[in-house]
Chain A
Amino acid sequence: MTGRGLLRYIEDLLRGNRPRPFRAEQTDVAELRTAIELRAARPGSGVPREEFVTQLRRRLATELADTPTWGATRIVGTRRQFGKGAAIAAAAAAVGAVVDHTLTAGRSDARPETGHAADTLTPTTGDWRTVAASEQLPDGAVRAFDLGTIAGFVHRTDGVARAVSGSCTHQGCRLLLDTTTRRLDCPCHTTVFAVTGEPLTHQLPVTPPPLPQLATREANGAVQVYAPPAST
């Protein structure tokens, strides 16, 4: 005889609700496991909600702001052997520089000046697409790229390549790279963003949010961003 707790649990699963706990018998386990497995096979199930990813990121930024771990204290002593790759080479260059960079990064997470945290743009379907050869992006460099589906700017700072969206967060105008100041200018309302995405100056009533970050990696001598596939 199937118990009520089990039936209710499965019905909750099917409706997408949080299943209510019950005192499960050992004989229920196989059915529960199969119900979960079948439910997880429903198309689209394994993709997290955009809001969840953003909210958890904010929560972590707040919680980690009071821990010294992501600051300077433990880095020096625990620096371990490094492998290959540009990011690592730069990190190994000077412990002092690494500490400074990490501290700054830690502070900017809270972004007290704008109250916004930059979100990472994660397309539902995407590919790692090359935006520059690694050698074309020396430390300090910034390059514009246009993948058709996403245009943006990739830069390398302290050895690490990162990319941001190239559309102004105010009304979507396409940003221009000012190579002399290493900044991104909005042609519409004279808003200026740092290449890292933070708004620097603007003449709007409210500070626009930072530019969305794009997932960026380096593989086989290429800088790649995770972007939707090219339209056919």
Chain B
Amino acid sequence: MADEVYPDWEAVYRDNIDRMYRLMFAKVGNRPDAEDLTAEVFVAVLRPLRVSASVGEVRAYLLATARTVLAEYWRRTLGKEVTTLDEEHIETVFADPPAPSNAPRRTAAILSALPDQYRRILELRFLDSCSVREAAAELGVSVANAKVLQHRALRRAAQIAQEVDQ
């Protein structure tokens, strides 16, 4: 598969657009930026690419470009490299069929390590798309309390995530 050659740029696009978007969304967490960065990668990659590049070469190039584009994005927006693509490898990013990500397991592990109220507020807000008002009603606390709870929960979750990484 990796030795095969893409017949044209459309084949490169068709074959990789979904995975590139998924990759970017996982790193920036919002659609407008994920779309812009995905577009940036394809424009940068397809312009200079040789037609005869193999699937493996194209994917290596896509991932390398995505790393640069993401690093530049963080430099431009927050001045800190919040997420990177340094740990990602072609084999997993472009596995066919798509490899099940270990992200859900990681997220579940982080959430399950939190005290109950912390876990609930994060689930409601991050996973279930609840507004802060809705989440407060669900938890039976005031909106102001829900906000405080969310901040503390996220800070605690970030600590746990770092422990999980070590």
List residues of chain A with CB under 8 Å of any chain B CB.
2, 7, 9-10, 12-14, 16-19, 21-26, 28-43, 45-49, 52-53, 56-57, 59-60, 63-64, 67, 69-70, 74-75, 78-80, 82-85, 87-88, 91, 101-102, 105-106, 109, 120, 122, 127-128, 158, 160, 213, 215, 219
CB pair A37 B107 closer than 8 Å: yes
CB pair B79 A33 closer than 8 Å: no
CB pair A10 B17 closer than 8 Å: no
Q: Return the contact of A41 from the options B39, B78, B127 (Cβ within 8 A).
A: B127
Docked complex Cα distance between A41 and B27 (Å)? 11
Contact flags (1/0) for B146-166 with A, using CB distance below 8 Å? 000001001101110110000
CB pair A16 B50 closer than 8 Å: no
Docked complex Cα distance between A56 and B14 (Å)? 11
CB pair A60 B46 closer than 8 Å: yes
Q: Return the contact of A33 from the options B8, B76, B83 (Cβ within 8 A).
A: B83
Given the known A-B contacts A7-B151, A42-B129, are A69 and B82 also in contact in the complex, defined by CB atoms under 8 Å?
A: no
Interface centre among B4, B34, B97, B129 (most CB of A within 10 A): B4
Residues on B with C-beta less than 8 A from A34 are: 110, 154, 157-158, 161
B46 to chain A, nearest CB (A): 6
Residues on A with C-beta less than 8 A from B46 are: 60, 64, 70
CB pair A21 B18 closer than 8 Å: no
B82 to chain A, nearest CB (A): 5
What residue of chain B has the Cβ atom nearest to residue A79's Cβ? B52
Q: A10-B154, A34-B154, A109-B10 are in contact. List 18 more A-B contacts (CB 8 A).
A: A14-B129, A24-B79, A33-B82, A35-B29, A36-B26, A36-B28, A46-B21, A47-B22, A48-B17, A48-B21, A49-B31, A67-B47, A74-B50, A78-B51, A84-B4, A105-B8, A120-B14, A128-B97
List residues of chain B with CB under 8 Å of any chain A CB.
1, 3-5, 7-10, 13-15, 17-18, 21-22, 25-35, 38-39, 42-43, 46-52, 54, 76-83, 97, 103-104, 106-107, 110, 122, 125-127, 129, 151, 154-155, 157-159, 161-162
Q: Return the contact of B77 from the options A21, A45, A52 (Cβ within 8 A).
A: A21
B44 to chain A, nearest CB (A): 11
CB pair B30 A13 closer than 8 Å: yes
CB pair B33 A83 closer than 8 Å: no
CB pair B42 A56 closer than 8 Å: yes
**Number of A-B residue pairs having CB atoms within 8 Å of each other in the complex:** 198
Interface centre among B29, B32, B77 (most CB of A within 10 A): B29
Residues on A with C-beta less than 8 A from B103 are: 37, 40-41
CB pair A42 B158 closer than 8 Å: no
Given the known A-B contacts A33-B158, A39-B29, are A21 and B78 also in contact in the complex, defined by CB atoms under 8 Å?
A: yes
Docked complex Cα distance between A26 and B21 (Å)? 27
CB pair B31 A80 closer than 8 Å: no
23 A-B residue pairs with CB within 8 Å: A9-B78, A26-B80, A29-B80, A29-B82, A33-B161, A34-B154, A34-B157, A35-B126, A36-B83, A40-B103, A49-B31, A52-B35, A59-B39, A60-B46, A63-B43, A69-B51, A70-B49, A78-B52, A87-B5, A87-B7, A88-B4, A160-B7, A215-B15
Residues on B with C-beta less than 8 A from A49 are: 31, 35
What residue of chain A has the Cβ atom nearest to residue B122's Cβ? A38
CB pair A39 B30 closer than 8 Å: yes
Given the known A-B contacts A16-B31, A78-B52, A87-B7, are A40 and B25 also in contact in the complex, defined by CB atoms under 8 Å?
A: yes
Q: Return the contact of B3 from the options A43, A84, A122 (Cβ within 8 A).
A: A84
Residues on A with C-beta less than 8 A from B5 are: 82-83, 87-88, 91
Docked complex Cα distance between A10 and B158 (Å)? 13
